[in-house]
Chains A and B, each alone.
Chain A
Amino acid sequence: MTLNRLQHYHLPDSGNAVIDLLEKYPDEAMIVAGGTFVHGLAARGLVSHVEALIDVSRLGLNFVRTDEGRLWIGATTTFRELLESPEIAGQPLFGAIRDALSWPPPQVRNAATIGGCVAAACPFFDMPVALLALAGAVSAQGRSGVREVPLQEFYDGLFENTLKADEFVIDMSVPLPTGRAASAFAKLETNANDLAILNAAVLVSAGSGGTCDMARVFVGGGVGETPVRSRAAEEVLIGNALTAEHFVAAGEAARNEIDPLDDHRASAAYRKAMTAVYVQRVLEKAAARLRA
């Protein structure tokens, strides 16, 4: 691996110690936990400037809990810990989280952390798209305290987030809607262990007459430098019945709205075509959960 300049591997035991280290190495430090992303970056020469790794896995940030009307996920909670958590089991609202976590192989689920996956700002990852659909937020701790950053304001381009130099992610949270809501996620990939060609996640809710009163539609996996929200698809859904014809129309609307990347995994044209298919599929899946 290309971590040629690495001098220090720190295992701090408190948030303040992490902040001290971030200030000590303003441009040369990288936060790690599960470590499942840094080696991929290293192989591509993207971390050759890193002199210090700050491993945050001993801060006690492995937790999943519900309070104050939100689901809270500690930053170093592994994919597996969240997937096995009773807090998200069986609930239609958290369907997208369960879907996204069931895709990676066991080796990744055992090691990768939710905070790392979110903070990495890799447009091909799955969990960020699921959490964006669920209107998730990041809690960032820095010298001046903890602030909440909505995920939609957290991403700032390829591998870029809006954390300040002295901040790191301590948890993610998702609001619990008052009405009945359901979410779903799906991923298109070339093999079981590759990054997404395309992924999609939706959150929908319906009033007593079965009319959709809220929808959030996100597409990721190479449709842009960050996941993309399809307002056009949401407009098709809101005020209409959650039925197949509207799911097809929402898929078409999402396809027409995006301008995907052309890369070695897939052409932009293929990503556009598959956006229509995958938005339709996740809507069907979420609607089925809502009816169940």
Chain B
Amino acid sequence: MKELLTIEVNGERHEVAIEKSDSLARVLRDRLGMTATKRGCDTGGCGCCTVLVDGRAVYSCMTFAKAVGERKVTTVEGLVREGELDPLQQAFIDADAVQCGYCTCGMMMAARQLLDENPDPSEDEIRKGISGNLCRCTGYSKIVDAIQLAAAAGRPA
């Protein structure tokens, strides 16, 4: 039996009918039509469903929608501010850090938490920050480059 859930995503409150077993990923993609968040393994092994909940990266495939409560969800759609790409999004473009692109949204959300908490990470800290996200195309080098670019863009000149 479905029930109504109120959830805040990217600063906007939504009332949505869900199944009790719905994951946050399912609510975002199938109930709200916000498909930037990807579904991959659905068991917390690949990272492409990563979103922020109160600023912290979580696997939305393993987060019960019912458990989110009053906390604020941020997806890749929420990184764009007034039509301007987030520095991370621009850096992924500038560093050519995308091949098939399926991991990219999750990768950027993991990187967003990293840079929010550590604006000037070392390469090792970057690699640890995205250790919960698999990419089978790039070999990670350009993804690390992109996160370094975004970090540099955030530093005062």
Residues of A at under 8 Å CB distance from B? 1, 3, 6-9, 11, 32, 35-36, 38-40, 42-43, 53, 55, 57, 80, 104-108, 110-111, 191-194
Contacts and interface: CB of A to CB of B under 8 A. Distances in A.
A267 B86 CA distance: 46
A261 B67 CA distance: 36
B66 A111 contact: no
B7 interface: no
Interface in B118-157: 129, 131-134
B131 A55 contact: no
A108 B57 CA distance: 9
B99 interface: no
Interface in B29-55: 42-47, 50, 53
B59 interface: yes
Contacts of A192: 131-132
Contacts of A32: 64, 67
A3 B50 contact: no
B114 interface: yes
A53 B64 contact: yes
B66 A36 contact: no
A105 B131 contact: yes
Contacts of A194: 45
Contacts of A57: 67
A142 B134 CA distance: 41
Contacts of B131: 105-106, 192-193
Given A36-B59, A107-B59, A111-B59, A6 B113 contact: no
Interface residues of B, number: 32
Contact of A111 (B20, B58, B113): B58
A107 B132 contact: yes
A3 B44 contact: no
- Residue of A3, A43, A104, A106 with highest tally of chain B CB at under 10 A: A106
Given A35-B67, A55-B64, A107 B44 contact: yes
6 contacts: A6-B20, A32-B64, A111-B62, A192-B132, A193-B46, A193-B132
Given A104-B132, A106-B114, 5 more contacts: A6-B20, A40-B44, A42-B43, A57-B67, A105-B47
- Residue of A40, A105, A191 with highest tally of chain B CB at under 10 A: A105
A1 B132 contact: no
The 7 A-B residue pairs with the shortest CB-CB distance in the complex, in nearest-first order: A105-B132, A192-B131, A3-B21, A110-B56, A107-B132, A6-B21, A9-B20
A39 B64 CA distance: 10
A25 to B, nearest CB: 14
B110 interface: yes
Interface in B60-106: 61-64, 66-67, 69
B66 A193 contact: no
A35 B64 contact: yes
B4 to A, nearest CB: 13
Contacts of A7: 1, 20
Given A11-B66, A35-B64, A1 B58 contact: no
A1 B42 contact: yes
Contacts of B61: 39
Contact of B66 (A9, A40, A105, A108): A9
B123 to A, nearest CB: 15
A35 B62 contact: yes
B20 A8 contact: yes
Contacts of B42: 1, 39, 43
A110 B66 contact: no
